[in-house]
Amino acid sequence: MIHRDIEEEMRSSFLAYSMSVITSRALPDVRDGLKPVHRRILYTLFEKSLTPEKPYRKCADIVGSVLGEYHPHGDASVYMALVRLAQSFSMRYPLVDGHGNFGSIDGDPPAAYRYTEAKMTKMSVNMLTDIQKETVDFQSNYDDRLKEPTVLPARFPNLLVNGSEGIAVGMASHIPPHNLGEVIDGLDYLIENPEATLEQLMTFIKGPDFPTGGIIMGRAGIRAAYATGRGKLTVRSKTEITEIKNRQCIIVTEIPYMVNKAELIKSIAELAKEKRVDGIHDIRDESGRKEKVRICIELKKDANANLILNQLFRYTQLQDTYGVIML
């Protein structure tokens, strides 16, 4: 039996746990923009030669290989990490090409991994090109049977391009996605002009570019985020007021990032039912494969469309905030 002060044991054990979560679980590596689980998923796809021109492979096989060879944690967490890499509404540039039900912007869960299939995208191929040429360091896996890369030799700045969301111990990361072309142009300018100012770089990188679209209101939040690493962005849905069958309608075609479309429609319907927003006759979800987001809010004949739209921006997630933490 080892006698030890409980306060000292709690301090040292929690510190070790915290460092493990921060460095090995919850936060991305700035070099490739990936958390360990995502890196191991992509490396497993690469080892299985699941490149874009090859057939899809069952996700059950992929998840099993990730668990057995590199990531000895829960299968559900690995599968959900893989699913997110394939979701076009979560990733600005998806790194996994998914075949089957991988969830939806309405919050629908993905199908079980025995049904879905996956392979690499062209973007993820560029995350691993030349890895065989000793471009990165390798380390032993959890049981010293295999070697895995400590980082991927990404050909583009994935952390800025796809962003990242993570909550560790005592800190969190909320990095928004950006447009690939803008980021590359900004990097080219920075290479040629190492002393470039923030204002000069912002002529190339205008601001975040969310996969679900939306309009960022104002530049102050963007500049604060880039200058200090922290900022608050107000993101507004893209809307249009039009007339359909002699009634004014508000058509929503883009919504803020990470907003559940089904819950958004439900909240608008509840406001109309409770008369907190008066003048709404009907609301329909007309989204489909051609138009991924299309919400039609049909108004009563005597309604003021602009007034109702402003009320919806105020009371619903048609307008939302995104807190930036560049960590």
Residues acting as catalytic residues: 115
Strands (E), 176-246: 215-216, 230-236, 238-244
To the nearest 10°, report the CA torsion of 173, 177, 180, 181: -120
Helix, strand, or coil (residue 163): coil
Taking the C-alpha atoms of residue 259 and residue 324, their distance in angstroms, rounded to an integer, is: 16
Using an 8 Å Cβ cutoff, are 115 and 101 in contact? yes
Using an 8 Å Cβ cutoff, are 156 and 309 in contact? no
∠ CA(131), CA(137), CA(141), 5° rounding?
Answer: 100
Q: How far is CA 133 from the centre of its chain?
A: 30
Which region, left, alpha or beta, applies to residue 159 given φ > 0 means left and ψ of -120 to 50 means alpha?
alpha
Taking the C-alpha atoms of residue 50 and residue 97, their distance in angstroms, rounded to an integer, is: 10
Report the candidate in 299, 242, 291 with the shortest Cα–Cα distance to residue 268: 299
Using an 8 Å Cβ cutoff, are 233 and 216 in contact? yes
Taking the C-alpha atoms of residue 30 and residue 33, their distance in angstroms, rounded to an integer, is: 5
Structure tokens at 60: 């059950």
Question: Which amino acid, residue 158?
Answer: N
Number of separate helices (H) and strands (E) present in the chain = 11, 14
Taking the C-alpha atoms of residue 54 and residue 60, their distance in angstroms, rounded to an integer, is: 17
Taking the C-alpha atoms of residue 26 and residue 36, their distance in angstroms, rounded to an integer, is: 8
Question: Which amino acid, residue 240?
Answer: E
